[in-house]
Amino acid sequence: RKEVEQDPGPFNVPEGATVAFNCTYSNSASQSFFWYRQDCRKEPKLLMSVYSSGNEDGRFTAQLNRASQYISLLIRDSKLSDSATYLCVVNGAGSGNTGKLIFGQGTTLQVKP
Amino acid sequence: DAGVIQSPRHEVTEMGQEVTLRCKPISGHDYLFWYRQTMMRGLELLIYFNNNVPIDDSGMPEDRFSAKMPNASFSTLKIQPSEPRDSAVYFCASRSTIGQGEKYEQYFGPGTRLTVT
């Protein structure tokens, strides 16, 4: 079983749609969670951290369910510019404060006009 | 402020040749990470350094791969001899344990696209 699992998609949605991505992780000791965004042929960049209480940044909402070891990302009012691959990221087992991160395979989103 | 710098951006080489990838982390960052990304396996951590010291190299695929960090502003990843299955995008990332920004946020370089024929 992979440490971080995501549905690879692709998710094809029209502009303005709401889309949700899910991710599960295997290590119950993980403490830090993130969503990174990667555009085609570019490097990954931090989109947002995921907090236990849930957090929102504009059209993006991230949630964490520790009991189910499940992370989600909701994008409202999708824009063409949201087309990218979204990587679910968890800090590695036993990594303490080292910040070793484990990346999921990514979920591809394509927003159509 | 310059981000993480990697060179070369593209490398095409023949099987059996030595390949050296280079990385300059963001000034002041004390962690440096080397990743490999392929369609099949996604983004995999190869090795990381803290204050120039290798901490975890468990992701290095085999002895053909080696990495060094002789000082805080430079690291290399070497493959000798290279094989076609090494073809991938190799990313370098760095982060700081102090200062501004999200804890654990890693800043990635643009990557080196390696093709071994």
Instruction: Kindly report the backbone phi and psi dihedral angles of residue B3, in degrees, each rounded to the nearest multiple of 5, phi listed first.
Output: -85, -160
What count of other Cβ atoms lies within 10 Å of the Cβ of residue B32?
29
Q: In Å, how far from its chain's centre is CA A78?
A: 15
Q: Does A105 touch chain B (CB under 8 A)?
A: yes
pLDDT of residue B103: 65
Residue B54 near residue B67 (C-beta atoms within 8 A) = yes
pLDDT of residue A52: 82
B104, A34: Cβ pair inside 8 Å? yes
Which of B34, B38, B43, B56 is the mutation pick for testing A, counting most A CBs within 10 A?
B43
pLDDT of residue A73: 97
CA–CA gap between residue B90 and residue B113 (Å, rounded): 6
In eight-state DSSP terms, residue B85 is: G
B45, A98: Cβ pair inside 8 Å? no
The amino acid occupying position B19 is V
CA–CA gap between residue B29 and residue A89 (Å, rounded): 20
Residues of chain B in contact with residue A103, where contact means CB-CB under 8 angstroms, are 35, 42-43
Q: Does A43 touch chain B (CB under 8 A)?
A: yes
How many degrees, rounded to 5, is the angle at CA B59 between CA B58 and CA B62?
90
Query: Digits of tens for pLDDT over chain A (113 positions)?
Result: 788 999 988 999 999 999 999 999 998 888 889 999 999 999 999 999 898 888 999 999 999 999 999 999 999 999 999 999 999 999 876 555 566 889 999 999 999 99
List the structure tokens of B18. Answer: 């030595």
